[in-house]
Amino acid sequence: MKTIVVGSLESSDCLITLTPASETTIDIESVVYDAFGDQIRAVIEAVLSRHHLDDVHIRCQDKGALDYAIEARLETAIRRYKEANHGS
Amino acid sequence: MARSYLFIPGDVPRMLQNMDVFDADALIVDFEDAIADTAKDEARDLTRAFLTKHGKNVPPLYIRINAVDTSAFATDVASLPTDVAGVVLPKTDLNALARFRATHEEMKKAPPKIIALIETPRALFDVLAIADDPLVVGLMLGGEDLTSAIGAERTAARTEIATARGLIVLAAAAAEIDAIDTPYPVVDDITGLMRDIDQSRAFGFDAKACIHPNHVDAINRAFVPSATAIDEAERIVAMHEKTKSMRFSLDGKMVDKPIITRAKALLKRAKQGADDA
């Protein structure tokens, strides 16, 4: 089972790491966690709801990314994760 | 009629989010040379998400997709956002245009407008036919790739691309589309940039591409006509409108249709520059 890493730690971006796990969990580190932590989690959960993943640990290291960037990075990561670990 | 075309990488959120503050007349989001082969999907996903959420008020935007002979091309076509002005097609030649059309037909997609990137020796021998293609709205010189392809050294005088510059301007003028000059590749060399812009103008290019936001302002200012040229164009257009004639004498010089057309285009470019000021 492979770990997938997408994005960067540059300003306005985020680094998404997907690691195989027994259940889906979300870990968020953000420079603006107090103000936007709940919003970041909501974006991640919204993307997850479009996919059927129940076996992945999601780590989001946020450097002030807007919602669209978090969403896009996560979409790329999930597609790669499925290709690498589920063969689809 | 854009004066400046700024390339920005498609996989950098900071650049995408700031695209409207760079003051470029048009933007080219790059999926090709600026993006590693392993990050093409990141650029596609990020650009599509950005345009969906924040793409309403951005300048005219083109996407430089990957060349038709690459593995990334078909996916670029399949996932191209619909709300772009067009694509910049690398290594355009007649075969590339045919494959571009065929791929869109296979996917049952309407092909977008193309800025043809002329950067191979073969393309320069086909450049008029490329310019005449109904999908092609502009010719852009890809100076770096062309220089490599012919095995030349890049020189300060840009002698190695002089023939290409001339052919592209002539073909674009014949087809009545825009001629866009190659970017100046040295980011911090403003003296060299200004010399390169002077050459672009002297050859007759309508616009210039750039790879750094710091080059945009100089290009925009350079491609605005001088006060003397504006005055002459205004008098030509005024005389034409007064006489309804396509052939007359002004200041002892004969004026006919191409000069009237050029005067109108010059005034349009001048107005755009004034609106931006």
- The values of phi and psi at residue B252, to 5°, are 80, 5
Write down the pTM of the prediction: 0.87
Contact B168, B143 (CB under 8 A): no
Contact B50, B27 (CB under 8 A): no
Mapped to the 3 state alphabet, what secondary structure does chain B carry? Answer: CCCEEEEEECCCHHHHHCHHHCCCCEEEEECCCCCCHHHHHHHHHHHHHHHHHHCCCCCCEEEECCCCCCCCHHHHHHCCCCCCCEEEECCCCHHHHHHHHHHHHHCCCCCCCEEEEECCHHHHHCHHHHHHCCCEEEEEECHHHHHHHCCCCCCCCCHHHHHHHHHHHHHHHHHCCEEEECCCCCCCCHHHHHHHHHHHHHHCCCEEEECCHHHHHHHHHHCCCCHHHHHHHHHHHHHHHHHCCCCEEECCEEECHHHHHHHHHHHHHHHHHHHHC
Sheet architecture: strand order including A25-30: A4-7, A14-20, A56-62, A25-30
Enter the tokens of residue B200.
């672009």
B207 shares its domain with B232: no
pLDDT in tens, B160-182: 999 999 999 999 999 989 999 99
d(CA B19, CA B140): 21
Q: In this structure, are B235 and B178 located in the same domain?
A: no
Indicate whether B194 and B261 sit together in one domain.
Answer: no
My answer on whether B141 and B232 are in the same domain is no
**Nearest 10 degrees: CA dihedral of B180, B183, B189, B192?**
-50
**Record: contact A73-B52, CB cut-off 8 A:** no
B56: pLDDT confidence band, cut at 50, 70 and 90?
A: confident
CA distance B11 to chain A (A): 8
pLDDT of residue B257: 82
Q: Are residues B80 and B110 in the same domain?
A: yes
Phi/psi for B144 (5° steps) reads: -70, -50
Quick: pLDDT tens for B11-48: 999 999 999 899 999 999 999 999 999 999 999 999 99
Comparing C-alpha atoms, which of B1, B54, B67, B64 is closest to residue B34?
A: B64
In A, minimum Cα distance to B39 occurs at A6
List the domain range (segments joined by +) for residue A61: 4-85
Radius of gyration (C-alpha) of chain A in whole angstroms: 12
Residue B224 pLDDT exceeds 90: no
- Interacting residues of B236 by C-beta distance below 8 A, sequence separation 6+: B250, B255, B259, B260, B263
Identify the CATH number of the domain in which residue A52 sits. 3.30.230.10
- Residue A58 has what pLDDT? 97
Strands A56-62 and B178-181: unpaired
Q: Which of residues 3-62 of B touch A (CB under 8 A)?
A: 12-14, 17, 41-42, 45-46, 48-50, 52-54
Residue with tokens 């205004």: B234
Cβ within 8 Å, pair B49-A69: yes
B171 and B64 in one domain? Answer: yes
Domain count, chain A: 1
pLDDT for the residue B276: 61
Between CA B211 and CA B195 the distance in angstroms is 16
A10: which DSSP letter?
S
| CA–CA distance, B173 with B170 (Å, rounded to integer) | 5
Task: Give Cβ neighbours of residue B187 (< 8 Å, ≥ 6 apart).
Answer: B211, B212, B214, B215
Residues B148, B205 share a domain: yes
**Residues from chain B contacting residue A69 (CB–CB below 8 Å):** 13, 46, 49-50
Q: In this predicted structure, what is the pLDDT of residue B253?
A: 85
Check whether residue B185 and residue B62 sit in a common domain.
Answer: yes
Q: What type of residue is B271?
A: K
> Model confidence at B115, in pLDDT bands (50, 70, 90)?
very high
Q: Is B166 an interface residue toward A (CB < 8 Å)?
A: no
Q: What's residue A54's pLDDT? A: 84
The CATH code of the domain that includes B94 is 3.20.20.60
Q: Are residues B186 and B264 both part of a single domain?
A: no
Question: Based on the domain organization, do B236 and B210 belong to the same domain?
Answer: no
Domains: count for chain B: 2
Residues B265 and B201 in one domain: no
Same-domain status, B192 and B171: yes
The whole-angstrom separation of Cα B104 and Cα B268 is: 34
For residue B142, report the phi and psi dihedrals to the nearest 5 degrees.
-100, 85
B49 chain-A contacts, CB cut-off 8 A? 68-69, 71-72, 75
Which pLDDT tens digit goes with each residue over A36-82? 999 999 999 999 999 988 889 999 999 999 999 999 999 999 999 99
Contact across the interface for A10 and B17, Cβ inside 8 Å: no
What pLDDT, on a 0 to 100 scale, did the predictor assign at position A56? 93
B183-222 pLDDT per residue, tens: 999 999 999 999 999 999 999 999 999 999 999 999 999 9
**What span, in angstroms and rounded, lies between the C-alpha atoms of B83 and B57?**
11
